Amino acid sequence: MNLDIPKNIRKIDKSDMLEILESFPLQIERAKDIGDGISLPSGFRGAIRNVVCAGLGGSAIGADIARSLTSGEISLPFFVNRNYSLPAFVNNNSLVIVSSYSGNTEETLSAYRDARRKKAAIVAITSGGVLEREASKDGVPVVTIPPGLPPRCALGFAFFPLLAMLSKLKLIKDKSKDIRETITLLGRMQRTELGMGARGKKNRAKVIAKALHRRFPVIYAACDHVDSAATRWRGQLAENSKTLASSYLFPEMCHNEIVGWENPLFLLKGSAVVMLRDRGDLGRVSKRMDIVKDILRRQRVDVVEVRSEGRSLLARIFSLVYVGDFVSFYLAVLNGCDPTPVDRISYLKERLASS
């Protein structure tokens, strides 16, 4: 299929996810405004000894990116919780940020109630639903974000208000300058190398999507700062492209998974590796990635390298995320799948609701 022909895209992209992806820099601007307007109780700052972000899926990836971004700056333990209950260490000295785009995610609602029982300080991020109603009733601060998007497409709203909270609590430095750089960078990337206006080999995302078509994608990244980008790629390939993928991190990969690239042969022959590279990767880790790339290529495994763009770490992380979002979109088109519906998730929720 020719990905440069708009009618080919429109025929499959019935819910117009392309427009959502291309307007993501504008979403960041709106999300920043929401973050700037957040007002937190003054008592939060002095009592906090750890931060726990509770969420699932598209509502959790924002917390993953915040953890990756701030790992070298924040002095408190920062934990992302994807479960019905919270860790035993959560208490009245914990800040629990509960994020559910719909406000109806049952695991997140359970975690919210657990945070209430543990008397933690709580902030909710949601577009409505049960979470907004319960939090408002309980006197818990609610950061209200716009509804109407697939949760995975609301990453800006899940991440930037959270980043603003950490800044307002003086846990990290103000990131306004980095946010402006990120908006400018992603806007340029959309126009020149990712969106429909970029044609043929000038479009990085289309080229990578074609390399992954009918393959099993394996996503690798360093664990220092861009691990969350690998998680995002895997999730987007699953939900948008309806493609099973794997993700793993360096340097741990060198101590086990590299040996697994021997069997089963049919799977290896049908695999393609994407390595997410960042100039902030630790030097020894970067060297490991180079060696593993050579090993895989000698085994005739296709390896695609995606290098981050931008100056600040925030911009670099989001540059990798943005490439992956577009890759998953174009791969969905190549697969003949509308990228927006997630029928199996809907079916699972219906079965759970009836049990």
Bridge partner residues of 221 (DSSP):
249, 276
Q: For residues 148 and 48, give the distance between their C-alpha atoms in angstroms, rounded to a whole number.
A: 33
Candidates 168, 210, 293, 349; catalytic one: 349
Q: Is 213 a catalytic residue?
A: no
Collapsing DSSP states into helix, strand and coil, what is residue 273? strand
Q: For residues 309 and 229, give the distance between their C-alpha atoms in angstroms, rounded to a whole number.
A: 13
Under a CB-based contact definition with an 8 Å cutoff, are residues 52 and 95 in contact? yes
Q: Is 349 a catalytic residue?
A: yes
Q: Is 255 a catalytic residue?
A: yes
Helix axis angle for 61-70 and 155-168, nearest 10°, is 40
44 closest CA partner among 176, 173, 165, 175: 165
Give me the sign of the Cα torsion angle 278, 280, 151, 109: positive
Bridge partner residues of 123 (DSSP):
97
State how beta strands 94-100 and 121-126 pair: parallel
Backbone angles phi, psi at 277, to 5 degrees: -115, 145
**Alpha carbon separation from 60 to 43, 68, 223, 246 (Å, rounded):** 26, 13, 18, 18
Candidates 225, 239, 242, 309; catalytic one: 239
Candidates 7, 19, 255, 262; catalytic one: 255
Q: For residues 213 and 3, give the distance between their C-alpha atoms in angstroms, rounded to a whole number.
A: 13
Active site residues: 239, 255, 349
